[in-house]
Structure 1
Amino acid sequence: MTLNYYQIDAFTDKIFGGNPAKVVQLNTWLEDRLLQNIARENSVDATAFFVNSGDVIELRWFTPDLELDLCGHATLATAHVLKTILGYDNTKITFYTKSGPLYVHVEKNMYVMDLPQRNPLKTELPDFIKASLNKQPKEILKSRDYILVYENENDVRNIKIDKNKFDQGNIDPGGVAVTARGNDSDFVSRFFIPQATIFEDPVTGSAHASLIPYWSHVLNKKEMTAIQLSARKGKLFCTSKKDRVLIAGKAKTYSEGTLRI
């Protein structure tokens, strides 16, 4: 069996920036164990698998370790493949996923994703996260992910996490976002996942489903820019709506090829 794949750098306009995702085109769904093995072999943060049966495009996402319930950068990467490589004609793409329908359209040379909002609530920090941090946050919230709010961008840029202590716990399927007001953007963040093959995620669209409503409330703004301060860096253009968020970004094709299973 041969499968076409594409490697896309999402949330960037430059190769080697943003977050890389593999996008694999299927004619029909394969068994879950095989999908997980392909994602593990791909060794990137996320592999998106899609089946296009016409008006319905089903989409699933796997890390090297597990299946995700939501993945922003791999959704953006799949939209990029459909529009720029496979010639998908519709102005709006509707993906059917485990998180419900997700919508993507192209606007001003950017892919705009319409995702469900995940408003975080105040909570306590588990001991394994608290013990792993070199500096404690000023505020702690949680939806799928823990949101740790810091005083300024330098705190986020300089955060250090003791991986041995961090890996003592699990947040299945979420992670930990550290965030603060930005110097050259409305807010910044970094994102870490315990017990994961890839410890720090370069750009995390799904975490912004929680970061956007939080910062929209704090800053009293509906439209914001965000930068994820990973080594690869990514820029996101964010809009807060009643129960949805819009996340826009660019993408670049790195490679195309064939998987032989």
Structure 2
Amino acid sequence: MKMYITDAFAEKAFQGNPAAVCILDEERPDSWMGRVAAEMNLSETAFLLKKENGYSLRWFTPEAEVDLCGHATLASAHALWAELGETSEKLAFDTRSGILTAVRTEDGIELDFPLEPVQPCEAEPELLAALGLSTSPAYAGGNRMDRLVLLPDEESLTALKPDFSMLRNVPARGVIVTAPSSRPGIDFVSRCFYPGIGIDEDPVTGSAHCGLGPFWSERLGRSELTALQLSKRQGLLKLHVGSERIRIAGRAVTVLRGELA
């Protein structure tokens, strides 16, 4: 089976978020896919299987299967077009979050994902302590996947030093922390923490922007947004926020080609 490692939401190699993409030759057991993902030891490994009307797509972290993943979907589309010679102008992926699509645009590869709107909720003391915050944030909320915390500025976000062992106890997939950007051409910045599923800090998280997109669209009064995730590797995302869906665009680069024994 062919296997690729692709840096997603990256302009060049060794930026963005690396994902492994495994091209399946047949259905495989969940336990086998979990072991492959643990062996890859990346934030996500995507498993693609050709179907009559597109591809089935599943995503595994080193510790768990997840319901939605942006960067590994971008990596999968890139692998199909750039490495496997896929000729379809529009790719359809059958996933645990429904049918997701990918098309090529001037901004790279554009994904069509569901919105995951954030609703306000209390920032409990345990969450604040895990993030090292001494006072309540400007906003706290969450959606079906993640908690979200708003900080006043980019400098506060950059300086954040979470306690990952404490964050593992937050009852959510992970915690997104965001702030307005101080950089020209960037609307907002974020960092994303998922120690509960084996990823202390994710380099670039496409699915988090299903919540971040509508959150910032409402505050800024615009549907077209540019976002930067401030991990060590960093990643740039172009967003178009609709009423029920969000389009997330970015570039990808293949860094490894191989075969799985």
Alignment of 1:35-50 (within 5 A): 35-50=33-48
Bigger shift: 190-199 or 231-240? 190-199
4+ runs of 1 displaced by more than 4 Å? none
Partner of 1:182: 181
Alignment of 1:153-192 (within 5 A): 153-171=154-172, 174-184=173-183, 185-192=186-193
TM-score, normalised via structure 1 length: 0.95
TM-score, normalised via structure 2 length: 0.95
Tell me the percent identity. 39
Q: Please tell me the root mean square deviation across aligned C-alpha atoms, in Å.
A: 1.2
Kindly state the Cα deviation for residue 108 of structure 1 after the two structures are TM-superposed: 1.1
Choose from 91, 114, 117 the match for 1:116: 114
| 1:211-248 deviation per Cα after TM superposition (whole angstroms, max 9, x unaligned) | 00000000001101000000000000011001000100
Unaligned runs of at least 5 residues, structure 1: none
| 1:53-85 deviation per Cα after TM superposition (whole angstroms, max 9, x unaligned) | 242210000000100100000000000001111
Preserved CA contact (<8 Å) 1:236 1:248? yes
Preserved CA contact (<8 Å) 2:107 2:238? no
| 1:31-57 deviation per Cα after TM superposition (whole angstroms, max 9, x unaligned) | 000000000010111000010124221
Kindly state the Cα deviation for residue 125 of structure 1 after the two structures are TM-superposed: 2.4
Alpha-carbon distance in structure 2 between the residues aligned to 1:163 and 1:73: 22
Alpha-carbon distance in structure 2 between the residues aligned to 1:126 and 1:254: 41
Preserved CA contact (<8 Å) 2:157 2:191? yes
Preserved CA contact (<8 Å) 1:169 1:194? no
Bigger shift: 186-195 or 212-221? 186-195
Unaligned runs of at least 5 residues, structure 2: none
Partner of 1:210: 211
Choose from 63, 77, 80 the match for 1:79: 77
| 1:101-129 deviation per Cα after TM superposition (whole angstroms, max 9, x unaligned) | 00110001500000000110001124432
Preserved CA contact (<8 Å) 1:114 1:244? yes
Alpha-carbon distance in structure 1 between the residues aligned to 2:14 and 2:168: 28
Partner of 2:230: 229
Alignment of 1:69-108 (within 5 A): 69-108=67-106
Question: Structure 2: which amino acid aligns with 1:43?
Answer: N
**Pair 1:169–1:215, CA change in 2 (3 A):** closer
Partner of 1:25: 23
Bigger shift: 160-169 or 207-216? 160-169
Asked if 1:256 is matched to 2:239, the reply is no
